[in-house]
Amino acid sequence: MQELNIGLPSCYQAVYKSHESNNLVITFTPTNGFFLCNNDLNAHKICISTNQPNYYIFNPGNACKKLSKYIEKLDVKNILLIGSSKAGLASILWGELIKRNINKSTKIFVLSFSPQTLLYPFNERLYFPSYKALIKLISKSDSLRKCAENYGDLNSILEESKLRGIVIYPKDNYCDRLEATRLKARGIILYGLQYPLHGSFLPFMPQTRDSKQLWKMVNKIYQNSLKDVDLNATIPKSADELFNIISSIKVPTIEQLCKNIFYKLDSGEDISVETIFIKN
**Residue 118 carries which DSSP code?**
B
Enclosing H/E stretch for 61: helix 60-74
Burial of 10 (0-12, 13-18, 19+ CB in 10 A): exposed
The answer to whether residues 29 and 86 touch, using CB atoms and an 8 Å cutoff, is: no
Q: Is 55 inside any structural domain?
A: yes
Q: State the Cα–Cα distance between residues 181 and 227, nearest whole angstrom.
A: 31
| pTM (2 d.p.) | 0.97
Q: Is 219 inside any structural domain?
A: no
Quote the strand ranges of 187-254, DSSP E: 188-193
Q: State the Cα–Cα distance between residues 89 and 30, nearest whole angstrom.
A: 10
Amino acid at 142: D
Q: Is 92 inside any structural domain?
A: yes
**CATH number of the domain enclosing 43:** 3.40.50.1820
Q: Is 75 inside any structural domain?
A: yes
Q: State the Cα–Cα distance between residues 99 and 104, nearest whole angstrom.
A: 8
Q: Is 208 inside any structural domain?
A: no
pLDDT tens by residue, 136-195 = 999 999 999 999 999 999 999 999 999 999 999 999 999 999 999 999 999 999 999 999
Q: Is 163 inside any structural domain?
A: yes
Per-residue pLDDT, 279: 64
Quickly count: other Cβ atoms within 10 Å of residue 20's Cβ.
Answer: 7
pLDDT mean values, one per 10 residues, the chain (280 residues): 96 96 96 90 96 97 97 96 98 98 96 98 97 97 98 96 97 98 96 97 97 97 94 96 96 97 96 86
List the domain range (segments joined by +) for residue 92. 2-201+253-276
Per-residue pLDDT, 265: 97
Q: State the Cα–Cα distance between residues 51 and 183, nearest whole angstrom.
A: 27
Number of structural domains in the chain = 1
